[in-house]
Amino acid sequence: MLKRRLSPWRRAGFLALIGIVLLIASRFIGELRDYQGAQVAVYVIAISSITLLTGYSGQISLGHGAVMAIGGYGAALSFSLWQFPFVIAILFGALVGTVAGFVLGVAAARLSGPYLAGTTLALAVGLPTIADQFKVLGGEQGLNFDIGDAPSWVRKIGGSEFTQYKWFFWIAVIAALISLWAITNLLHSNYGRNWRAARNNAVAASLAGINVARGKILAFTVSSALASLAGALFGLLLGIVTPTAFPLSLSFAIVTGAVLAGVSNLAGSIVGAVVLVTIPEVSGALATHLGGSQKVTANLPGLVTSLLLILVVLFMPHGLRIRRFKGMKKLRRNT
């Protein structure tokens, strides 16, 4: 029996319902949770870019943190220097990242496996140093990105205590839900089926008439658009875009979040995002228990993320949801 899928409009209605619930819930939680919720939404977009690229297209990227930086700088530059409205600035940052992703995708179409991973890794390592060399990007101090308080009509809807962090939460959640809706529709289209076919057997896909190279370029471009959108929103949350805000560890964290619940599981990006936001809080409590030295506090989150990635790869290589599904399938077969 074929699995019945929701239509695009039913998906939109379902995600809109989730969004309304989340936006209403934001009125009853504190600013810290609002900020963490906005972080989760940003990570959902970033992780879903890896899900699309690796889980469906089969291309491995270890440098999506650099693509996020491109989106963040594009948004901050257009907002602080060119006075773009913040919504246009965020979209402009995503557009810049999309163009960069297309350029990278053309090169990526000629590479595969560890060669592609190594190339994207080199980009993540070198981009902060490159950004330091351009004064227009603010050097080590970076660029400020403060959109201010929400418009008056939004504050009327959100209530009298509608703070800036709640405004950030609203923006990030709406962007994440729209992104998930667009990605889901894309993966259920012919493009998604072509990506899966090329991932499973590129030769057979080519013989079936699928342009594998063009599909790889498109996948890398769309994935970069999502990552740069996440980077623009990330800069919005931080209030500043600097080279140190997009370190190599950010790229590894995104991959960890994607691997955690299954790299081909789009819904699992939510689980991965929650885990990534939880790690610093858990690490802070653990660092305090160990003595609270500055060195331990600074390095422990990265260590926890690295250990988590290793453990997931060793013991849950298909992610939490897929392992459970296989177990249920085996149980049904035995009964």
- Average pLDDT rounded to a whole number, residues 129-156: 82
| Chain segment 274-293, per-residue pLDDT in tens | 999 998 888 877 777 776 66
Burial (CB count <10 Å: 0-12, 13-18, 19+), residue 12: middle
Q: What is the pLDDT of residue 34?
A: 92
**pLDDT band at residue 89 under the 50/70/90 scheme:** very high
Q: What is the pLDDT of residue 330?
A: 42
| Chain segment 222-242, per-residue pLDDT in tens | 999 999 999 999 999 999 999
Report which secondary-structure segment, H or E, holds 144: strand 143-144
Task: Quote the CA–CA distance of 270 and 266 in Å, as a whole number.
Answer: 8
Look at 295 and 268; give whichever has higher pLDDT.
Answer: 268
What are 216's two structure tokens?
């790889």
Q: What is the pLDDT of residue 95?
A: 96
**pLDDT band at residue 320 under the 50/70/90 scheme:** low
Contact indicator for 236, 147 with CB cutoff of 8 Å: yes
**Sign, CA torsion 220/225/226/232:** positive
Q: Is the pTM of this model over 0.85?
A: yes
What are 87's two structure tokens?
């919504």
Residue 233 CA to its chain's centroid (Å): 10
Task: Quote the CA–CA distance of 320 and 326 in Å, as a whole number.
Answer: 10
Contact indicator for 72, 240 with CB cutoff of 8 Å: no
**pLDDT band at residue 5 under the 50/70/90 scheme:** low
Mean model confidence pLDDT for the chain: 84
Look at 332 and 9; give whichever has higher pLDDT.
Answer: 9
DSSP assignment of 195-261, as one string? Answer: HHHHHH-HHHHHHTT--HHHHHHHHHHHHHHHHHHHHHHHHHHHSEE-GGGS-HHHHHHHHHHHHHT
Contact indicator for 181, 173 with CB cutoff of 8 Å: no
Contact indicator for 100, 227 with CB cutoff of 8 Å: no
Q: What is the pLDDT of residue 296?
A: 67
Burial (CB count <10 Å: 0-12, 13-18, 19+), residue 254: buried
Task: Quote the CA–CA distance of 278 and 273 in Å, as a whole number.
Answer: 9
- Average pLDDT rounded to a whole number, residues 160-182: 91
Q: What is the pLDDT of residue 88?
A: 94
Burial (CB count <10 Å: 0-12, 13-18, 19+), residue 21: exposed
Q: Which residue has the tokens 């009327």?
A: 156
